[in-house]
Amino acid sequence: MAEDKPKLTYRDAGVNIDAADEALSRVKESVKRTFDENVLEDIGSFGAMYRFNTDGLNEPVLVSSVDGVGTKLKLAFMMNKHDTVGIDLVSHCVNDILVQGARPLFFLDYLAFGRLDPLVVESVINGIANGCRYAGCSLIGGETAEMPDMYDHNEYDLAGTIVGAVDRSKIVDGSTITDGDAIVGLRSTGLHTNGYSLARKICFELAGLGVQDAAPGVDGTIGEALLEPHREYARVMQIVQRIVRVKGMVHVTGGGITDNLPRVLPDGLGATINLDAWELPGIFRYLQTTGNVAQPEMLRTFNCGVGFLVIVSAAELEKTLDALRQATEDPLVIGSVTSAPDGKVSYTGSLV
């Protein structure tokens, strides 16, 4: 008589469908609070549907972007704190389409786990929903996958896609930028979502810190400082764009000011940035000093305290600064556009 073979289940292979169902039930109400009148399907359908309301758009153009949080997730794992990385994800994507003048419409997320923990899923997606509510967009769909052979049990990956819209006549593409235009910087709230591989090496390998340790010049613990959420600039800039003609915008992400500013400048133009225009925040000063990081490397790896750039004509600079201050912003006049055949950014002063 043949020996009975064991009856295998999906859970035996490491995938728990019941946990996924529990996670979905935990976040359903939080997600629904992001819906506006244009969302046509509840979550759980195969495809998300969104009615494209073109009111106020003579020639509507859709603008989209996809991104992740990168190795900042390692900080979330180390601290077992998962409620802010979703905010990071949404803010990064919102800022990426903002530079072209687009307002966000809807967002979709992707979460992949080694072993799905419903409480962690709930925390991450609640963060995404909070980011969407603040940005004024709807979280209309996503995917949560459990892949035990791809990720460690206590880790996950996170990505998102945003879709926004802008009237074609109001697209901000930098084409009207000219020599002498002013560059205004908006402050960041820390590293945002870039430079974490170097930051972790400095803090946890070179300096030997734990996430709950303090660091000179850094408020709170080093873990808290590094996990500070990515800032979203859409609400502030929507106010400014109603008052002045914004000629260009820059999201200071990977590559820093050095690599991101030239992306919006027309051929033959570069920029001069005065590093004495702002004080380097404590977390960046600690990283620079402890890691013995050269100034050019700092400026290509981190935002160094300036997360977003706004380019306006010199004639509208004061009006721009007034608008930003009315929006409770503390703007920094950090430089100007210059004639430069190589299109590069040059610096005066030093990071201090």
Query: pLDDT tens, 234-279?
Result: 999 999 999 999 999 999 999 999 999 999 999 999 999 999 999 9
Domain boundaries, the chain: 11-170, 182-348
How high is the pLDDT of residue 1?
Answer: 47
Looking at 3.20.20.140, 3.40.50.720, 1.20.1290.10, 3.30.1330.10, the CATH number of the domain 11-170 comes to 3.30.1330.10
Tokens of 209: 């810190």
Class of domain 182-348: alpha beta
Cα 49 to Cα 41: distance, rounded to the nearest angstrom: 6
Tokens of 289: 């000093």
Please compute the mean of the pLDDT values over residues 144-166 and round it to a whole number: 92
Query: pLDDT tens, 85-112?
Result: 999 999 999 999 999 999 999 999 999 9
Residue corresponding to tokens 């990505």: 159
Residue 4: pLDDT band by 50, 70, 90 thresholds?
A: confident
Cα 254 to Cα 272: distance, rounded to the nearest angstrom: 19
Please compute the mean of the pLDDT values over residues 141-170 and round it to a whole number: 92
**CA Rg value for the chain:** 22
How high is the pLDDT of residue 285?
Answer: 97
Lowest mean pLDDT among 29-33, 80-84, 341-345: 29-33
Confirm whether 11-170 and 182-348 share one CATH topology.
no
Q: 338: which strand partners?
A: 270
Q: Can you say how many angstroms the Cα of residue 240 is from the centroid of all Cα atoms in its chain?
A: 20
Residue 56: pLDDT band by 50, 70, 90 thresholds?
A: confident
Cα 65–253–190 angle (5° rounding)? 120
Q: Tell me the pTM.
A: 0.93
How high is the pLDDT of residue 17?
Answer: 66
Q: Are 61 and 167 in contact (CB under 8 A)?
A: yes
